[in-house]
Amino acid sequence: MKRIHVMAAVIRNAAGQILIAKRPDDAHQGGLWEFPGGKLETDEDRATGLRRELLEELGISVTQARPLIDIRHDYPDKSVRLDVWLVTGFNGEAHGAEGQPVCWVAPSELGNYSFPAANAPIVQAAQLPERYLITPDMADEGALFAGLEQTLENGIRLVQLRQTQLAEREYRALTERVLARFGERFDWLLKGNEPPEYPGVGWHLTARQLHELGSHGLPPRSSTGWLAASCHNAEELSLAQQLGVDFVTLSPVLPTPSHPDAAGLGWEAAQALIGSINKPVYLLGGMSPERLSEAFDAGAQGIAGIRGLF
Ligand SMILES: Nc1nc2c([nH]c(=O)n2[C@H]2C[C@H](O)[C@@H](COP(=O)(O)OP(=O)(O)OP(=O)(O)O)O2)c(=O)[nH]1
Ligand SMILES: [Mg+2]
């Protein structure tokens, strides 16, 4: 079946809300909510196709957009590539120019709407930020807390609590203190052999856990937090996708001080690997905020980092 290339938009307004529209009942995947957009025309470039669709469907002129996530999905009757961009600037008042209902919703409310099956990773990408901080190992807890206060001021919201120097018991004790002080202010992901039981706190799996769980499946999780995994190659990405994680890190993209002997995948290989799965991917290894636009061009959700973000 020939794959149809669809340009679609996660449109975010100044209040942080996202625009969704309802597909006509008689359309493919009719009656479900969607991110506005439509088929790319022959010989049309992606940005032009996106602009044309949003003008036709919503009456807005896009002034700022960049790639967000690129999905390939096979419906029984249709194969689509959903080439989704994040639109953060536009002129005009968005309205259903083809008579379709539209509404602005908070990212956390997207889960209350029914979307086509292909859209699950788009909803996750719309809810996830551009930067994912992994805490550096720090023996000095005061310095770790001061660093976290600083990263809050820098606008970072998603954090993995990693402290490889701590034994499991010490890590658990530190977790209690970190959550008591910062619990509400960040979206946390924890490491460990068991899924965290704190409400809303996520779990970040190592590549080794991915291989182990691959044959058993996930243990039951009581928490609704994010589920993520560390991946380094195509096999691990595909394991992560099969297990149903929400997002992954892919590393190392560039050589880093912490792994000076690892060559790094390089941008081209990273881009090809990102294209092989339907999940938001944070690039890790040698990343800093100056690399964000390269990461977006490679199809990534954004960057993850230890020293580069702390
Ligand atoms: N725009 C959009 N399409 C989606 C989403 N999710 C999803 O599976 N699709 C599928 C449904 C359709 O098969 C295809 C989009 O085609 P479309 O019907 O919007 O195409 P179009 O706007 O160009 O309209 P037309 O040519 O049919 O008049 O992609 C989504 O979130 N947004
Ligand atoms: Mg359309």
Verify that 16 and 165 share a domain, yes or no.
Answer: no
In whole angstroms, what is the distance from residue 258 CA to residue 305 CA? 11
- Is the minimum distance from the CB of 50 to ligand 1 under 6 angstroms? no
Question: Of 63, 94, 117, which one is at a domain's C-terminal end?
Answer: 117
| Mean pLDDT calculated for residue range 261-270 | 91
Tell me the CATH number at 213: 3.20.20.70
Verify that 107 and 175 share a domain, yes or no.
Answer: no
Verify that 31 and 161 share a domain, yes or no.
Answer: no
Least confident of 31-40, 153-162, 220-229: 220-229
Ligand 1 center to residue 111 CA distance, Å?
Answer: 20
- The 10s digit of each residue's pLDDT in 160-195 is 999 999 999 999 999 999 999 998 999 999 999 999
Number of domains the chain is built from: 2
Verify that 258 and 162 share a domain, yes or no.
Answer: yes
Interface ipTM: 0.95
In a domain, 69, yes or no: yes
- Residue-number span of the structural domain to which 164 is assigned: 131-305
Q: Are 270 and 298 in contact (CB under 8 A)?
A: yes
In a domain, 126, yes or no: no
In a domain, 125, yes or no: no
In a domain, 122, yes or no: no
Strand 158-161 relative to strand 131-134, pairing:
parallel
Does the pLDDT of residue 257 top 90, yes or no? no
Q: Where are the alpha helices (DSSP H) in the chain?
A: 46-58, 120-127, 141-153, 168-182, 207-216, 234-243, 266-275, 292-297
How confident is the prediction for the chain on average, in pLDDT? 95
Ligand 1 mutation pick, 5, 18, 19, 34, max ligand atoms within 8 A of CB:
34
Consult the annotation and say whether 121 binds a ligand. Answer: no
Sign of the Cα torsion 7, 36, 80, 231 reads positive
Name which of 73, 83, 12, 14 is nearest 45 in CA terms: 83
Verify that 39 and 110 share a domain, yes or no.
Answer: yes
| Mean pLDDT calculated for residue range 231-255 | 96
Does the pLDDT of residue 260 top 80, yes or no? no
Verify that 181 and 287 share a domain, yes or no.
Answer: yes
